Amino acid sequence: VQLVESGGGLVQPGGSLRLSCAASGFNIDDYTIGWFRQAPGKERDGFACIDSEGTIFIVDSVKGRFTISSDNAKNTWYLQMNNLKPDDTAVYYCAAEGGHKSCLELFLGPGSWGQGTQVTVSS
């Protein structure tokens, strides 16, 4: 199982970024997939997820600004981030868990992680 992220960078407040997570070694439509982030000095927290049945969960703090989606044909999922704020600055990680787990179970500890990509929101 391998997850490779791309798409991070520096963006001004109010700007947008799209992160991608390309998976290999498994089919994402059989997995629960999602995104975590870790800001400096803080814990790594999950905030967006698609479970193996296609149900989407996004935490309230980013709902309306962040969107998670997937392309099963490309075995890739995405995080579209709009109206970015300085507080969104963090290392972003994609994650996946097999076994038809719920999003809560993914957030408690996924089986596989991407390498992380830095997102910096600053003027």
pLDDT digits (tens, 9 = 90+) for 46-93: 999 999 999 999 999 999 999 999 999 999 999 999 999 999 999 999
Q: How much is the pLDDT for 123?
A: 95
**How many angstroms from the chain centroid is the CA of residue 20?**
8
Q: How much is the pLDDT for 92?
A: 98
Q: How much is the pLDDT for 4?
A: 95
pLDDT digits (tens, 9 = 90+) for 95-113: 999 988 999 999 998 889 9
For tokens 């709009």, what's the residue?
82
pLDDT digits (tens, 9 = 90+) for 9-34: 999 999 999 999 999 999 999 999 99
What amino acid occupies position 42?
K
Q: How much is the pLDDT for 99?
A: 86
Query: 42, exposed or middle or buried, with CB in 10 Å at 0-12, 13-18, 19+?
Result: exposed
